[in-house]
Structure 1
Amino acid sequence: MRYTLPPMHTLRAFEASARLRNFTLAGEELHLTASAVSHQIRALEAFYGTALFRRQRHEVVLTASGERLLEATQPFLAQLSALGEALRVRDAQRLSLTAPPSLVSRWLMPRLGAFLAAHPQVDFKLHATTALLDLDAEQADLAIRYGDGRWPGLHAQKLFGESVFPVAAPVYARKHKLVGETFEGATLLRDDFQSWDRWLGAAAPAPAPAGPVYSDSALLLQAAEAGHGVALGRSVLVADAIASGALVRLGERAIDAPGAYYLVSARDATDAPAVAAFRQWLEALA
């Protein structure tokens, strides 16, 4: 359907002038001069081809045509204004986050309930993916990424680093008499994120890591918890499992992981209330 409508700014000037019965007061409300309001009213009268006001010395009075237009204009503007407020509130409470699946399942999910309980109005959406979603294209408001903190065109704030050390299920450790960092006879579980080479080193002979390879660190740790072997655990991802007793740390030595976790956003983005609340919560938690 094709609509024949005047410019919106002329309707706003008309409604304010009709309500206040004065171009000067209408201009003050709209942050315009009285001359600008008068010009917009003349443009609206030209659009409809009829006079909308009778100009008197100290005020303006609606004509019959002006009365009819006001009856349609006031509810129209009120509905648009109310809808705008509703849409702004909804957008303000929307929050979309992207994060690696391993971090989501092993660290974020056990803690996320506290945030959602404290902010029940937030419309939350989580993308658990290793893909780097385009934050400038608003595919997500925030991202938790692992790396060196350098993503061109994006703002990155470091949350936490991590260290790496061997872990195993308590039953598996006892069965294979794993003491310290001696893993003879054990199956060394692997993932695509890191190998055992850096840990073992040339000076620490050990069986070739012949265990299965997992594409995700969370799967690797699930295999270790199930007693399938020894895994190199990343401190952030194994903290809860060690605290609960599902995994035990083997030895005291740890090496720094090559990267860290960062909270990433579009460089020029302005945080909506829900995004700001999540950022503050995550910073405090980290």
Structure 2
Amino acid sequence: MVQIICFNAMKENNYIMRSDTPLKAIACFDAVMQTGSAVLAAQQLFVTPGAVGQQIRKLEEWLGLSLFVRNVRKLQPTEEALRYWEQVRPALQQLDEANASVQGRESSQVRLSLPPAFANTWFARRMPALTCSHPGLKFHLNASSEPVDFHTHTYDLAVRYFDGKDDNLDVQLLLSDEVRVYCSPGYRESLQLAVVEDMARATLLFTTSHSNWSRWLAQVGMSFDGMTSNLRFDQSEMAIDACCRGQGLVLTSPWLVEDNLERGNLIQLFPNALQTGKNYYLVCSRERPLGAAAQQFRDWMLGAARSISGDRGG
């Protein structure tokens, strides 16, 4: 009995992966689970959607079960797929980290998630200064407003627009925010917009991320009565672009229109600003310490935000 126990323990401590384990298929499965689509997974892996589908079928045959319900536009994971992914994700992350460590990528790479509009405006405006001051840093940037699960080790840091309350995250204020009304110079002239009451002649552009028109109007003693508001956008960038093209008034963050104000594409129509209760925060995991590169990046971001806020008297 003792010999059997020792033998089993030896086998456990000297585990060897099965030679037929389909690692490539598992990587494709992980990409599909992350994106929800064979097409998007193929783009991520730089292969064809057909190749992804072939690898998924190979994995299903190897496991002996179905991982997805095939719909027209999307692959719906089964309960077995969700359980399997939960178990293989940590292993895939450990493998990636081991590869990064051996290749020397880990020491200089920063994985960052930013809201799309913020990434393409505030951050893009300052990125040349960042790359100039930290030429050795390597960035993996993702434009998304979705919640970040730092337990998967997919990202080191993220910028999120919210009230700053999350006990599961290390949260640092990056930029205090408010919303103001902007339009193109031509639009103001064509409608002769001089005082807030003139807004009754204008079109209000709505955005999902900054849907604060009712509060702003109430603050200046007005309401939606008689106003046109038939243009609605899911992305702030689309609303701001429409505003630049003379399609109406946009109510948005001044941090998202810096370049357009500087170029004269937009003007602030009225001095009134609304505090929304949301700001831009730099967040990371409470449990996992940042690497040296991520710390450098965080310090730079906070310094850049402080310098700009200081210039504005904030």
Report TM bin, short chain: 0.5 to 0.7
Large movers: runs of 4+ above 4 Å = 83-86, 202-206
Q: Is residue 192 from structure 1 mapped to residue 208 from structure 2 by the alignment?
A: yes
Q: Which has the higher helix share?
A: 2
Task: Verify the 8 A CA contact 1:165 1:255 in the aligned structure 2.
Answer: yes
Name 2:245's counterpart in structure 1.
Answer: 226
Question: Shift of residue 124 of structure 1?
Answer: 0.6
Task: Verify the 8 A CA contact 1:97 1:140 in the aligned structure 2.
Answer: yes
C-alpha distance in structure 2 between counterparts of 1:147 and 1:127, whole Å: 18
1:54-65 correspondence runs (5 A): none
Question: What SS is found at the alignment partner of 2:203?
Answer: coil
Could you say if the C-alpha distance between residues 85 and 144 of structure 1 is closer, same or farther in structure 2, counting changes exceeding 3 Å? closer
Question: Shift of residue 132 of structure 1?
Answer: 1.2
Name 2:170's counterpart in structure 1.
Answer: 155
Could you say if the C-alpha distance between residues 205 and 122 of structure 1 is closer, same or farther in structure 2, counting changes exceeding 3 Å? closer
Give the gaps of 5 or more residues in structure 2.
1-15, 18-97, 306-314
Larger radius of gyration: 1
Count of aligned pairs: 206
Q: Is residue 178 from structure 1 mapped to residue 193 from structure 2 by the alignment?
A: yes
C-alpha distance in structure 2 between counterparts of 1:230 and 1:153, whole Å: 38
Name 2:129's counterpart in structure 1.
Answer: 114
Could you say if the C-alpha distance between residues 84 and 139 of structure 1 is closer, same or farther in structure 2, counting changes exceeding 3 Å? closer
Task: Verify the 8 A CA contact 1:183 1:206 in the aligned structure 2.
Answer: no
Question: What SS is found at the alignment partner of 2:122?
Answer: helix
Question: Shift of residue 259 of structure 1?
Answer: 0.3
Name 2:278's counterpart in structure 1.
Answer: 259
Q: Which amino acid aligns with 1:200?
A: L
Task: Verify the 8 A CA contact 2:184 2:266 in the aligned structure 1.
Answer: yes
C-alpha distance in structure 1 between counterparts of 2:263 and 2:243, whole Å: 14
Could you say if the C-alpha distance between residues 171 and 141 of structure 1 is closer, same or farther in structure 2, counting changes exceeding 3 Å? same
Question: Shift of residue 150 of structure 1?
Answer: 1.7
Could you say if the C-alpha distance between residues 204 and 94 of structure 1 is closer, same or farther in structure 2, counting changes exceeding 3 Å? same
Question: Which segment is superposed worse, 147-156 or 223-232?
Answer: 147-156
Give the gaps of 5 or more residues in structure 1.
3-82
C-alpha distance in structure 2 between counterparts of 1:85 and 1:262, whole Å: 28
Give percent identity, aligned residues only.
28
> CA RMSD, aligned part only?
2.3
Name 1:132's counterpart in structure 2.
Answer: 147
Could you say if the C-alpha distance between residues 236 and 257 of structure 1 is closer, same or farther in structure 2, counting changes exceeding 3 Å? farther
Name 1:277's counterpart in structure 2.
Answer: 296
Could you say if the C-alpha distance between residues 85 and 265 of structure 1 is closer, same or farther in structure 2, counting changes exceeding 3 Å? closer
C-alpha distance in structure 2 between counterparts of 1:135 and 1:85, whole Å: 18
Question: Shift of residue 206 of structure 1?
Answer: 4.9
Q: Normalising by the residue count of structure 2, what TM-score does the alignment of the two structures yield?
A: 0.61
